[in-house]
Chain A
Amino acid sequence: MTSTRRSVLVALVRAGGLAFTLGRQVAVAATSSLPADPVVAKLRSLVSDPVGAHCIGQIYLSQASAESDPAHLASLILSSLKLTSQDSLRLQRRALSKLFGAEVRADFAAGRTVALNGWILSRTEARVCALWT
């Protein structure tokens, strides 16, 4: 296993096995400044490890440059979650996480996946990661 490959793996593991659980307090991201948009901030909180998310998000945006605007990304994510901005802010993180998890699974069931450096990921989770770039 090359060091590059291992580092990506470690990043992914630190992202909570890509489970996006809310068990841990999100640390201050070394890779990104705090967003002004509260919706973006709320959606970013779905990820437990910003470093891993940043890594994944960068690869995603290299393939989907049209989604590089955080506000646009957030609207795409909310659309897939069938939520409005107000809904997302009103929901507790646990409830939001539950919706998010269900959408990720639905993505996989429907084949709405992206291949990022070989990883087969849900499009929705890749977009959330991209919010950390």
Chain B
Amino acid sequence: MIIDAKKLAPNFTAEAEVCIVGAGAAGITLARDLAGSNRKVVLMEGGDLSYTPESQQLYAGDVIGHSSIPLDMDRLRFFGGTTNHWSGSCSPFWQSDFEDWPFGLETLEPYYRRAHAICQLGPYTYNPEDWNMEQARALNFPPGSRFESGVFQYSPPTRFGSVYRDDLASSSNVTVYLNANLIDIETAESGREATSLQLACLDGKRFQARARQYVLAAGGVENARLLLSSSKVRAAGLGNEYDLVGRYFQDHPYVRAGGTIVADSARPDLWFYTQHFVGKTQIEGYIRATDEVMRTEGLPPFAIGFRPPELLTPDFGGFTLPAGLRERLSTDAANSLTYFVQRLSLDVESAWDYLHYKVWRKPPGLFTTLYICGTEPDPLSRVTLGSSVDALGMRRPVLDWRLPSDFEITMRRAHELLAEELGRMGVGRLRLESAATGHDPMQDVSNGHHQMGTTRMHRDPRQGVVDEHCRVHSLANLYIAGSSVFPSYACDNPTMTIVALALRLSDHLRSLPS
């Protein structure tokens, strides 16, 4: 059942065994997985079924530190959450990416497989050889090479709100409340158990929810903001006994055109490292350093993909016109219009690239690189509460995103090593771009819209906000879902891992006494 909270009776109380806050990839996956169980579930979504500027405004906040696009443009606040403008890139993390996690890849593997179906992906294989085709083959890195290939698969992309809405609407044990914004998590006097959630609609209506277990699935900034804002019993906020909530924020920095590659004309296989279809599945190969090279060179986990020559700007499209119109025309900031025009031009570029491939059936031979990395967790990179408040009276977030001081050095070193490897293999040559070559890639370091780390997972409450089951250490019945629990960030789009973790959390909740 789906209910508009604005139509609820005054002082309404929703009661359930499990109350989930946030209907994005994590929240919808969790609710859907619990549908059909013997547990009553309520799913609270702050937005409506579709975009409204008033609701989106609740995401606004200040950005200090490294520049990032405005917070209210980063995430989407309506049913389906940020999957409503998700690119669809998916891959499981590598084994080595789990070094800082309380469990390894083997624990998440069965959930990744289930997540694959939910994200509407192709066959569950990330072995590059399984995706080779005549015009796009993974490089055959020789033994002892410093690099290896990986694969991203692309979801259609699954808009969770559209695709799974009917499943939730028809469920007998799940109720979705729209326009239901969490404004406070109330706890017992001890502060060790959540007792109710206070919710509000933008029209002023207030109501509450009571449940046995609560799950915050509101996004990397919002999860931290909600914990910090719930300070009636614990002045520093919930789960914040060790001043960890909001810290370790990280996004994936994207460096576009950090390198330009001229491929040997006899090596058309580099098309593998661009977005392309293999059968019905869109994939994109990438090149990464081996674990040993990352260790010896002190490099973060990174992926380098290739982009064909672009007409207008070293960026990529995929931002559909309708979504752009909805988002950009809803605000009046001049830079928003610029952003919209830019994204529109990128769509045109994507179409050009696609046509080029379809018409000529051959790769262009010239590429620019796209570098993505997962940086070291940094406690100074964080989300705090500002002094201004939103329309519901909640303090707005302040994001201080920090990149490591050696970010440029490691990015350039990764390109240098790749240049040597491409030369060694006779594949082509790489140019390291810089201010001296006319394009300084450091002027265009953007974020991947991946908010991570603010409620990091660790077995030790002194080092993490949630435990290995994603339960807030200091509260018996409050859980966190989403990439805010990531203790380290890999270099992959987090959505598939978010979905896998939500499925794992669902299993855990099911294992609790009813």
- Footprint of B on A, CB under 8 Å? 1-2, 4-5, 9, 12-13, 16-19, 101, 104-105, 107-109, 111, 113, 115, 117-122
| B437:A117 contact, CB within 8 angstroms | yes
Partner of A120 from B264, B266, B419, B436 at Cβ < 8 Å: B419
Check B292 for interface membership: any CB of A closer than 8 A: no
Could you tell me which B residues sit within 8 Å of A by CB distance?
Answer: 260, 262-266, 309, 365-366, 416, 419-421, 423-426, 428-434, 436-439
CA distance A64 to B48 in the complex (A): 66
Is there contact, CB below 8 Å, between B437 and A118?
Answer: yes
Q: A17-B266, A17-B428, A120-B419 are in contact. List 16 more A-B contacts (CB 8 A).
A: A1-B438, A5-B437, A5-B439, A13-B262, A13-B365, A16-B265, A17-B264, A17-B265, A17-B429, A18-B262, A18-B264, A18-B428, A19-B426, A113-B419, A119-B431, A120-B429
- Interchain CB contact under 8 A, A119 and B436: no
A-B contact pairs, 21 of them (CB 8 A): A2-B438, A5-B437, A9-B262, A9-B366, A12-B429, A17-B264, A18-B428, A19-B426, A101-B426, A104-B423, A104-B426, A108-B420, A108-B421, A111-B420, A113-B419, A118-B433, A118-B436, A119-B430, A119-B431, A119-B432, A120-B420
The answer, among B260, B420, B436, for a CB contact under 8 Å with A9, is: B260
Is the pair B438, A108 in contact by a Cβ cutoff of 8 Å?
no
Question: Smallest CB-CB separation from A105: which chain B residue?
Answer: B424
Q: Report the minimum CB–CB distance from A69 to chain B (whole Å).
A: 26
With A9-B366, A17-B264, A18-B428: A117-B436 Cβ-Cβ less than 8 Å? yes
CB closest residue in chain A, given B144:
A109
Main secondary structure of the interface of A (DSSP, over half): mixed
Instruction: Indicate whether A109 sits within 8 Å of B420 (C-beta atoms), given known contacts A12-B262, A19-B426.
Output: yes
Residue ID in chain B nearest A15 by CB atoms: B262
Classify the interface of chain B: helix, strand, loop or mixed.
Answer: mixed
- B430 lies within 8 A of A17 (CB): no
A101 to B426, CA, bound (A): 8
The answer to whether B430 and A19 have CB atoms under 8 Å apart is no
Q: Which residues of A contact B432 (CB under 8 A)?
A: 115, 118-120
Residues of the A chain whose Cβ atoms lie less than 8 Å from the Cβ of B434 = 118
Contact A119 B426 (CB under 8 A): no
Q: Report the separation of the CA atoms of residues A2 and B438 in the bound assembly, to the nearest whole angstrom.
A: 7
Closest A-B pairs by Cβ, 6 of them: A108-B423, A120-B419, A108-B424, A118-B437, A17-B264, A118-B431
CB-based contact B420/A113 at 8 Å:
yes
Q: A18-B262, A113-B419 are in contact. Are A13 and B430 (CB under 8 A)?
A: no
Q: B263 to nearest A CB, angstroms? A: 6
Q: Which residue of B lies closest to A19 (CB)?
A: B264
**How far is A129 from B433 in the complex, measured between Cα atoms in Å?**
21
Closest to A120 in B: B419
- A133→B352 CA distance, assembly (Å): 38
Given A5-B438, A5-B439, A117-B437, the answer on whether A107 and B262 have CB atoms closer than 8 Å is no
Asked if B266 and A19 make an inter-chain contact with CB atoms under 8 angstroms apart, the answer reads yes
- Closest Cβ of chain A to B11, distance in Å, is 62
* A1 vs B419: C-alpha distance when bound (angstroms): 20
Rounded to whole angstroms, the CA-CA distance of A118 and B263 in the bound complex is: 16
Q: Whole-angstrom distance between the alpha carbons of A2 and B436 in the complex?
A: 12
Query: Which residues of chain A are within 8 angstroms of B266 by Cβ–Cβ distance?
Result: 17, 19
